[in-house]
A and B are shown apart, each in its own frame.
Chain A
Amino acid sequence: MARAAATLAPEKGTSLWADAWRRLKRNRLALGGAVLLGLVAVVCFVVPVVLGLDSETTDPANSFHPPDAHYPFGTDNVGRDYLARVLVGGQTSLLIGVAATLASVLIGVFYGSLAGYYGGKVDEVMMRIVDFLYAIPYMFLVILITLQFSKEARGNPLPIFFALGMVQWLTMARIVRGEVLTLKNREFVLAARTVGAGDLRIIFRHILPNILGVVVVYATLTVPAVIILESFLSFLGLGVKLSWGVLVSEGVGVVNPIESHAWLLLLPSLFLALTLFSLNFLGDGLRDALDPRTRR
């Protein structure tokens, strides 16, 4: 592929990113995922502001109001506008997904690149610790970390970012370490060393840019994992005040054979599912685009 491009335009080689972008553009599912994701994000963050929706005002006279023109998504058990709740809840879910992923990328890249670069026993020790944390079911750690915050603090998303970031970095660290291990003996690293670059400079200026692709791909796939984890926590009553997970778990609570308020379960589930679908498609597409070796 690269050689063909070179013969067509010999004066200008294509960079990894340009190549990747070209491949990504051909992947309809991934592009569709990206568009859908953008759409969901815009709707969640812009619509409540523009329409002045309020997710907390109760209207007990109109509780369990089915969806109609006035309440497009209906109302919940105390008559709160469900459209507002789904969208505002979406803000929290998306923010937690992105923030916890960023935290896990920062920790994971730092830890993994140090372990991979120094190698040998340092690597062995650092990876042993990762193995140890891996063997503990992650939910368990998340719950124990979430407990560290008082009930009032637990309503806000910050503790959840922290707890989820603390468990999600493990896989990132492993992946980065593996990549660094294969790169650190390459000629360009040797070249950097011969001109006197220090270890940290080599890691962050020379090696990291080369593994950015893998990191981006894995981060895209971490976001849905984090959103799912957050919804688990909310389902167990340990999460934030309002997110898709909270809404779904409340929805599960009110669905019963006599009076099925199915929209309370289906609408937040739909938004959650759409977001997770598009993130997964986008992540898979990015992986195929950035790492053609794994393309099938």
Chain B
Amino acid sequence: MRLSSFQGLLLTLAAIGGVFLLVGMPPIQAGFIVLGLALLALPAWFSAPVVRVVGGALLAAVLYLFLRLPLPPALAIVLAAAVGFAAWCYVPPRILRRVCVLVPSMVLLVYVTSLLMYSAPGSPFAQEKAASDQVIAAKRAAWGVPESPTEFFKIYMTRVLEDFDFGPSLTVQGRSVMDLLGPAFPVSMSLGLTALVLACAIGLTLGIRAGLRPNSFADYSSMGLAVIGISLPNFVIGALLLMVFALSLGWLPVAGWGTYSHLLLPALTLALPYAAYIARLSRAGTIEVMQQDFIRTARAKGLSEREIVFKHALKGAILPVVSFLGPAAAGIMTGSFVVETLFGIPGMGHWFVKGAINRDYSVVLGTAIIYFSIVIAFNLLVDMAYAWLDPRVREDL
């Protein structure tokens, strides 16, 4: 039996919907998810001109939502339209196709997260002292958390789209999600970025050093370190670092946040597993590049070893690393849940875990949206960097 591609799509979606219905999901929710997945898949059928139009329009719409708050509406519309038009003209279709997928996937993420939060046992209003039904109903109405997840999704999306408001926290009295995450965002970002930079610096140094002289002492020692980094969970590394540097030697503070010395241990803890992975990738990349003909040519024309490595080999050696940076950024973000807990850092990971345990729906959704946006933005950047480094990819960008 051969299927046409469109029949294949319908079959896939129907199968997924069927599975959802089988496990007892209400038809509305299953329908919503299948619809979301369909929207996610649809851009695969768009031809390049359609992608340009839809992508440009979506980009303009998203931009308008952001610009509308600080600017007068007319100016916001004009600016957003201008950017959308520019995107239509100049941005490569591959990137615009990404945009077409991203907008529905963000909406789908919010919906699926609300569903998962709602289906978890317990509720944000469960307290030690049982409140009467009327009190709970009044609270649900006041905070915009009705009984049905689909209703909640509607209220939440309207609030976000109309006022860019992520709602009140359901468990921290009198604070909005913005109040909680606003100060936490720069904390997590500086931790994550420091960790990423450290991971690249350590990983590339070890990997290239090992790759230039395979099977030497430098190689074995670097790769031995890398295996340790990959094999140990980062909170074990963190705890050991704490024992040595904070407790025994007393050089660095045990926990807390505020100065650079507070940043060092957690960032190192977070970075080491990724440094190890980057070291392996760049070792393999270096070995491969050094066997290429153009390196032989460079040697033949009498370049120094240093010039060969830095001018010619490096670019090839870091290609596999660059494509790993997207997943690494996502991993560092999630790793920060653990590291922030271990070192007592007031970041977003802390709020996510707390929100999930306390069933604080709006805090969880807020962190989800922020994490997802960061990962997406980073993946886009990585894609562009990859195209810049590797001309073979640039062609079809």
Contacts and interface: CB of A to CB of B under 8 A. Distances in A.
A224 B243 contact: no
Interface in B225-272: 227-228, 230-233, 235-236, 239-240, 242-243, 247
B338 interface: yes
B368 interface: yes
Contact of B227 (A131, A245, A280): A280
Interface stretch (B62-70, B114-122, B154-162): B114-122
B352 interface: yes
Contacts of A140: 334, 352, 368, 371
A269 B228 CA distance: 12
Interface in B301-337: 327, 330-331, 333-335, 337
B5 interface: yes
Interface stretch (B6-14, B82-90, B198-206, B385-393): B6-14
B8 A118 contact: yes
Nearest to B342: A252
B357 interface: yes
A278 to B, nearest CB: 9
Contacts of B352: 140, 143
B353 interface: yes
B235 A235 contact: yes
A125 B236 contact: no
Contacts of A252: 235, 239, 242, 342
B120 A148 contact: yes
A135 B105 contact: yes
B247 A277 contact: no
B243 A255 contact: yes
B124 to A, nearest CB: 12
A63 B214 CA distance: 51
Nearest to B349: A139
A280 B108 CA distance: 36
A262 interface: yes
Given A148-B116, A280-B227, A255 B12 contact: no
Contacts of B37: 125, 129
B94 to A, nearest CB: 14
Contacts of A262: 243
A248 B3 contact: no
Nearest to A123: B8
B372 interface: yes
Contacts of B3: 118, 122
Contacts of B45: 121
B284 interface: yes
A236 B335 CA distance: 11
Interface string A176-218: 0000000000000000000000010000000000000000000
Interface in B152-182: none
B141 interface: no
Contact of A137 (B16, B330, B364): B330
A147 interface: yes
B27 to A, nearest CB: 20
B9 A125 contact: yes
B353 A236 contact: yes
Contacts of A32: none
**Most chain B CB atoms below 10 A, which of A125, A134, A147, A228:** A125
Contacts of B236: 248, 269, 272-273
Contacts of A128: 40-41, 44, 101
B356 interface: yes
A175 interface: no
A92 interface: no
11 contacts: A128-B101, A136-B372, A136-B375, A147-B117, A148-B116, A248-B233, A248-B235, A260-B247, A272-B232, A277-B227, A296-B287
Interface of A: 118, 120-122, 124-126, 128-129, 131-132, 134-140, 143-145, 147-150, 199, 224, 228, 231-232, 235-238, 245, 248-249, 251-252, 255-257, 260, 262, 265, 269, 272-273, 276-277, 280-281, 296
Interface of B: 1, 3, 5-6, 8-9, 11-13, 16, 37, 40-41, 44-45, 101, 105, 108-109, 113, 116-117, 119-121, 214, 227-228, 230-233, 235-236, 239-240, 242-243, 247, 284, 287, 327, 330-331, 333-335, 337-338, 341-342, 352-353, 356-357, 359, 364, 368, 371-372, 375-376, 379
List 5 A-B pairs, minimum CB-CB distance, nearest first: A121-B5, A122-B8, A139-B334, A147-B120, A137-B334
